[in-house]
Every structure is written in structure tokens, then in C-alpha cells.
Amino acid sequence: MDNPFPKTDRSGVLIVSLVIFTMLTILTTPFIGSGITDPIKFYASETGQQILLILRLPRVIFAFLVGFSLAMVGVVFQALLQNELATPYTLGVSSGGALGAVIAIKSGLVISLMGFTSTIIFSVAGSLLTIAIIYQIARSGAGLSPLILILTGVTVSLLFSSLILFVHYLADFTETYRMIRWLMGGLQIIGWEYSLVLLPFVLLVFAYLYRQATALNILSSGDEMALSKGVDVLKLQRVIFFSGSALTGLVVAFAGPIGFIGLIIPHLLRLMVGSDHRKLLLAAPFFGGSFLIWCDTLARTIISPAELPVGIITAMLGGPFFIWLLIKRKMSP
Amino acid sequence: MLQLERINFCYGTASVLEDINLSVSRGEFIAIIGPNGAGKSTLIKLIDRILPADSGQILLDGKPLPVISRKELACTIAYLPQETNFAFSYTVREVILMGRFPYQKGVRAYNAEDFKVVQQMISLMEIDRFASRHFNELSGGEKQRVLIASALAQNPSIILLDEPTSALDLHHQIAIYKILKKLKEEQNLTVCVVTHDINLAAQFCDRVVLMGEGRLIRDGKPEEVLQFQLLQDTFGVKVYIDINPLTKSLYILPYG
């Protein structure tokens, strides 16, 4: 029989073009930057090859994974909390991670575990601790109430922010500079290490969440309706909460709290492909990844040879864009 | 097919249901009536395991409810809450398609069979006119018809509805009861409606369950339950009861 769902929407085409756009982005952006006038000649030289393979390409891939993760977690947290304004940071994981990082910087501890600095280790520990605290507070008999989760997350964020200020107060000028620089977020990495750690996590979380796409759609009709349609609500909420938070914690530890990606990308793609998570969970992460690559490319070239923290770029592009989007939508209902 | 034995339920320390015993057979059309706070909505939530009973047991085809998986339960029982809001915007077709979720296996997306059922439900509930629109933009009555279509798309043998017609105009009130009655007669669907509209209940249902203060007060044919003294005691208002000469069913008018 005929498909009763006529292909009037072009979201399939859009998703395919997003994937192609991502590939083009990954292939071209490493050749943008200081010292390159002729990409082919540049690649032929030995230093050129090294710059591309040890600096530029790893950084582009890393930026993609970070942007992909933040947009993906943004989408599922919005479904979990049944709120379009939720972000990967709404539940306070990033402030826990940030507190861990500033404590590591202040204490000046020089430890390393499998090649990771004390800042990263402390940040991951801070995130995990926050996840445990929030889960303990928010879990009630019936399920994870979105309202209680949001309230707990916001409160814990505020508490940790004040603790971060307190550590700032104790710190000297160099330490404070390093802390603020960390809090701005950045993707300056060398080599493939971070990406290799991040990749399996991203793939695992994505594979699981994508399987839940139809259940995520139903979850947005409320717990009772979702239960009656056969969704195991509590299990779904738990898995989204833990996998999303853990991935956010890892991303924040590696790249700092880069803002706006987890908010505007899901929102923008929701407007473009609709709220069906089977489409949204493909479109938003790919676009998030490409978007962050371009932001980072801008960040490292705009005041070359110096670099801007990428968090500033995402906020400066994302903020006004988001406002424009809201105004535009208000004017054309 | 459905048996409730000595059911108790509390919200915190407040007892909502006390010692409920109820047995429902295949193909019955039951109305649950009673004053606000009598425990009607809670009762049907227990039947679909939206809430767990504190004590007592519910058997579905002889199987205790807690051993049945969520999806399996959704293939047998459909439930329509009093109020439904979607946090995000979905089209009417997407909402009805959600009713096919319990039939999904693994990662398999919805198939031709699912789309066929959706189209059938759209015709059945007469919602072709706005089938491509967004659910959140519809009127209360239109939303309710879409939600019923989505519940019926589960292909249930029992459908539980919590005040399904309270937001609807006269035409659509009757239309929905007619459809439910038709499904009951043609497909042996068991229908269980929580309602404040006693007249529609009297006209369409073959069994009325009267509840008050968490207890089951009377359970029987409409003429056995809809009695002057019983209604006055339970609702605390005087009622006038007569027979509608056109439908031969009881009708009830409260007066002050």
C-alpha cells in the first residue's frame, strides 16, 4: 500500500547534506590557518605534514567529537527534562567538573594517570561526584521527576559556582589566570590521545540513545502516557541521565565548559527537521560537530598568531543567533 | 479477563482506595462514576500499572500484573490520561504512530503494517481533515480524538479512558461513545470509562460502577446503580430520574 506519510518534508535530504557537509568540513578546515597558501605544496613539505597530522587534523576531529557529544546530550536532556531550554550543563555536571579543575590548578598537584593531567583527573572526579549527588537527591519512588532534577541541578550548579569563586579568592594571579582560561573552554590539543579516549564513549552512548529514539518521542507526552504506550520510563530516564552526564563530564574535563552548542544546535535542528528523535538525533550531533569545528577554526585564525578561546566564539555567535531565532519565530507564528 | 482482588492504595498516608474487588469480562462497557476524589482515576491507573497497588493483586487473563512486561501490557491495555501535553511539537500522524510503539522489536522502525493501522485510525476517528497538522495547535476536542486514535492504534483488548468526553461538544461526545460501542460489539473490546456524564453512561454502558471515598459502593446494570437514594447519598445532591422515551435509557437531572 501507499505510504500514508507523504514525503513532503525534506528532512532526509537535509540529514544527508549535513553528513556530507561534515565530511567536507573535516577535509578542508585543517588547511585553513597561518602558513598555508598552497595546500598541496604545504602537504608536500615535512613540517607541513607534521602540522597537519599532529596538530590540525587531531584538533579538528577532537572538536567534532566534542560538538557531536554536546549537541547529542543537549537533545536527550531536553527530552529527559521535557524542556526545550535544557542543556548538557543544566544538571550541574559541568560545574562539578569545573570545581574539580580549579581545585587541581590551585593545589598545584602534579600527578598523571595514563598520561592525563591532574586537572583532567580532578575534573572527571568532580563530574562523577556531582552525578552521584544529583541522582541521590532526585530519585523518588515513582521515577526521576524532571522538575526535581532541574531544581537539584540548578542548585548544585550555584553551590559549586560559589565554591569556584572561593577557590579563585584563595588563588594567586597566575593560578587565577589559568583557572579563567580553563573555564573559557578550549580545544588546543596535540596528538590523538583525547579523541581516542572520547571516541568509544561517544559511539557507545550514541548507539544506545539512537535505539531509544521512538521511546524519546513518547517520553515528551509525559510519564503516564509513556508508561501506557509500553515505555519503561524509569529505566530510560536513568540511562539517559547517567550516560549523558558521564559523557558531558568527560567532554568538560578535556575541553572545558564550552557553552551554547548544547542549547542552540538542538533547538535549531528541531526547527529544521522537527521533533522526531529518529531524525533529530542524527541531524543535531552532526551539525553540532561541524559547527564547533568552524568555531574553532575561527578561534585559531581570527587574531592569528594568537588564539581566542573557542568558548568565546560559540557564545558570541550562538547568543545573538539564538535571539534572532526567537524573534523571527515570534513574528511568523 | 481482568480481576482486582482486595486492592488498597495510599498516596503517602492518605488512603485513596480501600478493599476494591472488581471483575471485568471481555467485551463489557463499564462506566466508573462517583464524586471528585472518590478514587476513580487512581483505580484505572492501577489497572494499567501506572501506579503500583499497595496491597492486593490484579490479574490480567490469570497473570499477576507485575510479571507482565511494559510492552506486553501496552499490547493488551490502552490508557488515556485526563490531560496530555507534549513538551515538543509532533504531527497528528506522529502522535498516532506512537500507539504502535509496543509492537516495535529492537531497532526496527515502524513498518507498512503500522502505517496502515495509523491510516485506519485516522478514518475511524474522522480526523483526516487535520491529520497533517501539529498536535499542539489543535482544539481540545480534536486533541482528544487524536489521543483516542493513538490508544486504539495499540490494538488493545481493554481501553481505559479518564473523562474522554469532558472537553468535547455534544456531537463529538456522542460520536466517541458510538465508536467505543461499535468497537465493543464488532471486536469485543472491553471499554472502561471514568466519567461525570451519568446520562451518556446510562445510555451506552452495560455496567456502572459507583465509587465514593475510595470504596466501591454499587456495581451493576445502570438501572441497579442509578437509583435516587444511592445517588443522593453519594453525591450529596437531589436528582430527578426518568426514562428517555427515545433511547429507553435512564436520564438523570440534578437539582438544588
How would you class A199 by CB atoms within 10 Å of its CB: exposed for 0-12, middle for 13-18, buried for 19 or more?
A: middle
pLDDT computed for residue B20 by the predictor: 94
Query: Residue A234's CB: how many other CB atoms inside 10 A?
Result: 14
Reported as a pLDDT band with limits 50, 70 and 90, residue A2 is very low
A&B contacts, CB < 8 Å: 97
Enclosing H/E stretch for B113: helix B112-124
Q: Is the pLDDT of residue B113 over 70?
A: yes
pLDDT band for position A142 (cuts 50, 70, 90): low
Taking CB atoms and an 8 Å cutoff, what residues of chain B touch A79?
87-88
pLDDT in tens, B12-50: 888 999 999 999 999 999 999 999 989 999 999 999 999
Tell me the pLDDT tens digit for each residue of A59-73.
999 999 999 999 999
Residue B248 has pLDDT above 50, yes or no: yes
pLDDT above 70 covers what percent of chain A? 93
Q: From the CA of A279, how many Å to the nearest CA of chain B? A: 12
Q: Residues A47-60: what's their mean pLDDT?
A: 85
Q: How far is B215 from chain A (nearest CA, A)?
A: 24
Shortest distance between the Cα of B254 and any Cα of chain A, in A, equals 33
Could you give the CA distance from residue A49 to residue B233 in angstroms, rounded to a whole number? 90
Whether residue B124 has pLDDT greater than 60 = yes
What is the reported pLDDT for A116?
76
- Burial annotation A75-108 (CB, 10 A radius, 16+ → b, else e): bbbbbbbbbeebbbbbbbbbbbbbbbbbbbbbee
Neighbouring residues of B56: CB distance < 8 A, sequence distance ≥ 6: B4, B5, B6, B7, B8, B19, B20
**Dist CA A174 CA A179 (whole Å):** 9
Lowest model confidence (mean pLDDT) among A62-71, A136-145, B82-91, B136-145 = A136-145
- State yes or no: pLDDT of B106 exceeds 70: no
Find the mean pLDDT for residues B39-62.
94
Residue-averaged pLDDT of chain B = 92
Structure confidence at residue A9 (pLDDT): 61
pLDDT at position A36 is 66
Question: For residue A277, which residues of chain B lie inside 8 Å, CB to CB?
Answer: none
- Alpha-carbon distance A231 to nearest alpha carbon in chain B (angstroms): 7
- Read off the pLDDT band of B107 (50, 70, 90): low
Q: Does A5 lie at the interface with B, CB-CB under 8 angstroms?
A: yes
Point out the least confidently predicted range of A107-111, A115-119, A140-144, B99-103: A140-144
Q: What is the Cα–Cα distance from A147 to A80, expressed in whole angstroms?
A: 10
Q: CA A321, CA A315: separation in Å to the nearest integer?
A: 10
Interchain CB contact of B248 with A (< 8 Å):
no
**What's the half-sphere exposure (Cβ side, CA atoms, 13 Å) at B5?**
10
**B99 in contact with A at a CB cutoff of 8 Å?**
yes
Question: In chain B, what residues touch A220 (CB-CB under 8 Å)?
Answer: 86-88, 90
Mean pLDDT, residues A88-108 taken together: 89
Distance in angstroms (rounded) separating the CA atoms of residues A291 and A326:
20
Question: In angstroms, rounded to a whole number, what is the distance separating the alpha carbons of residues A97 and A282?
Answer: 27
Helices (H) and strands (E) in chain B, counts: 9, 12
pLDDT tens-digit series, residues B138-163? 988 889 999 999 999 999 999 999 99
Average pLDDT over residues B164-185: 90
What is the distance in angstroms between the Cα of A263 and the nearest Cα belonging to chain B?
Answer: 15
Q: Which of A34-38, B67-71, B169-173 has the lowest mean pLDDT?
A: A34-38
Q: Which of A33-37, A136-140, A309-313, B59-63 has the highest mean pLDDT?
A: B59-63
Q: How far is B68 from chain A (nearest CA, A)?
A: 11
Q: Tens digit of pLDDT for each residue in A150-178?
A: 888 999 999 999 999 999 999 888 888 98
Q: Answer whether A228 sits within 8 Å of B86, measured CB to CB.
A: no
Classify A172 in phi/psi space as left (phi over 0), alpha (psi -120 to 50) or beta. Answer: beta
Inter-residue contact B161 to B191 (CB < 8 Å): yes
Per-residue H/E/C for chain A: CCCCCCCCCCHHHHHHHHHHHHHHHHHHHHHCCCCCCCHHHHHHCHHHHHHHHHHHHHHHHHHHHHHHHHHHHHHHHHHHCCCCCCCCCCCCHHHHHHHHHHHHHHHCCCCCECCECHHHHHHHHHHHHHHHHHHHHHECCCCECHHHHHHHHHHHHHHHHHHHHHHHHHCCHHHHHHHHHHHHCCCCCCCCHHHHHHHHHHHHHHHHHHHCHHHHHHHCCCHHHHHHCCCCHHHHHHHHHHHHHHHHHHHHHHHCCCCCHHHHHHHHHHHHHCCCHHHHHHHHHHHHHHHHHHHHHHHHHCCCCCCCCHHHHHHHHHHHHHHHHHHHHHHCC
In this structure, are residues A221 and B98 in contact, taking their beta carbons and an 8 Å threshold?
yes
Say yes or no to pLDDT of A5 above 60: no
Q: Which H or E run contains B207?
A: strand B207-212
> Which three cell numbers mark A91?
544538571
pLDDT at A130: 92
Are the CB atoms for A70 and A261 separated by under 8 Å?
yes
Q: Which residues of B touch A274 (CB under 8 A)?
A: 89-91
**Per the CB < 8 Å rule, is B98 touching A275?**
no
Q: Are B101 and A218 in contact (CB < 8 Å)?
A: yes
Smallest Cβ–Cβ distance between B79 and the set A83, A218, A228 belongs to: A228
Task: Identify the residue whose cell numbers are 476536542.
Answer: B141
pLDDT at A140: 67
B88:A232 CB<8 A: no
Say whether residue B228 is in contact with chain A using an 8 A CB cutoff. no
Burial of A314: CB neighbours in 10 Å, binned 0-12, 13-18, 19+: buried
Question: How many Å apart are CA A185 and CA A170, to the nearest integer?
Answer: 22
Percent of chain B whose predicted confidence (pLDDT) is above 70: 99
Q: Is the pLDDT at A7 greater than 50, yes or no?
A: no
A53-57, A85-89, A112-116: least confidently modelled range: A112-116
Q: What residue of A is the nearest CA neighbor of B118?
A: A4
Which residues from A are below 8 Å from B70, CB to CB? 227, 230-232
Of residues A38 and A124, more confidence is placed in A124
- pTM for this entry: 0.89
Write the pLDDT tens digit of every residue in A99-134. Answer: 999 999 888 777 777 667 888 888 999 999 999 988
Under the banding of pLDDT at 50, 70 and 90, the label for residue A136 is confident
pLDDT the model gives residue A4: 45
- B74 chain-A contacts, CB cut-off 8 A: 228-230
Cβ count within 10 A of residue A117: 17
Residues of chain B contacting A221 with CB distance shorter than 8 Å: 84-87, 95, 98
Please give the share of chain A, as a percent, with pLDDT higher than 90: 42
Does B73 contact chain A (CB < 8 Å)? yes
* Cβ atoms A222, B112 nearer than 8 A: no
Q: What's the CA gap between B124 and B182, in Å, rounded?
A: 11
Mean pLDDT of chain A: 86
